[in-house]
């Protein structure tokens, strides 16, 4: 019964979207088919998400996995883009920073999981004095659902941001320089250059990179397994870990 109101709202929005498409001009068979398939997929995903929410209202495994995928990939993309824009500039030690930013990608996921398990240990970890100074020494993050999820997402971000960084950097360095130089001569600001020249040039790279990373993000298993073993309970369990432990 709880699912029906959410499905009804989503269905109304999708129907309104389809009606607007038919009213906007001459609809095509391909466009109509694509929108119908997309609408059915959204309804099915909403139904699955609502089914995974248990009786107490806590998110289930599918919702937790979507949290890792959506927010994790978004944060990784933004940080990777920022680092790529920084390293695309002519700054001292440019090659050194490129190597340092790429280093986490060379570490195995299990190694990163054990590293973060040590770093976030508030009792005997290397940062224990810092946690104690801020009054966080007695916080059992592994028993707090959202804290455990955020730590897992933080480790995943540290591992995969270099992948975003190196691909976006390659896209930035392959954009036409003559357009940028002409815009600088015309007095364009950095934001105008990024909005009107850089971003349109790297959109195909960004779309492909995001799709690859989204597919890979659904496979997350090492970090939740080593850091929390899916706990507390199944609060930080991903779909892959659930399949592995089933």
Task: Please list the pLDDT of the chain residue by residue as tens digits (246 residues).
Answer: 556 676 777 788 888 878 887 777 777 888 788 888 888 888 777 777 766 665 455 677 888 888 899 999 999 999 999 999 988 888 787 788 888 888 888 888 888 888 888 888 777 778 778 878 877 767 777 788 888 888 899 999 999 999 999 999 989 888 878 888 888 888 888 888 888 888 988 999 999 999 999 999 998 888 898 888 888 888 888 888 888 876
pLDDT at position 160 is 92
pLDDT at position 51 is 67
d(CA 145, CA 104): 26
pLDDT at position 69 is 92
pTM over 0.85? The answer is no
pLDDT at position 89 is 83
pLDDT at position 52 is 67
């Amino acid at each position: 019964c709880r699912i029906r109101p959410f499905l009804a709202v989503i269905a109304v929005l999708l129907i309104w979207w389809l009606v607007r498409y038919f009213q906007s001009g001459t609809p095509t068979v391909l466009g109509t088919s694509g929108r119908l398939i997309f609408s059915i997929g959204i309804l099915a995903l909403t139904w699955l998400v609502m089914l995974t929410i248990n009786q107490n209202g806590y998110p289930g495994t599918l919702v937790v996995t979507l949290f890792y995928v959506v927010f994790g990939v978004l944060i990784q993309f933004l940080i990777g883009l920022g680092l790529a824009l920084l390293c695309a500039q002519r700054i001292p030690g440019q090659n050194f920073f490129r190597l340092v930013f790429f280093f986490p990608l060379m570490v195995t996921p299990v190694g990163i999981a054990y590293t973060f398990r040590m770093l976030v240990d508030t009792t005997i970890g290397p940062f224990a004095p810092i946690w104690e100074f801020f009054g966080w020494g007695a916080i059992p993050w592994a028993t707090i659902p959202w804290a455990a999820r955020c730590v897992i997402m933080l480790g995943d971000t540290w591992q995969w941001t270099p992948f975003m960084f190196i691909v976006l950097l390659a896209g930035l360095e392959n954009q036409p320089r003559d357009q940028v130089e002409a815009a600088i001569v015309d007095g364009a600001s950095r934001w105008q250059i990024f909005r009107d020249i850089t971003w349109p040039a790297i959109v195909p790279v960004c779309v492909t990179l995001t799709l690859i990373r989204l597919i890979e993000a659904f496979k997350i298993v090492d970090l939740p397994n080593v850091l929390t073993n899916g706990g507390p309970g199944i609060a930080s369990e991903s779909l892959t870990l659930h399949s592995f432990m089933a």
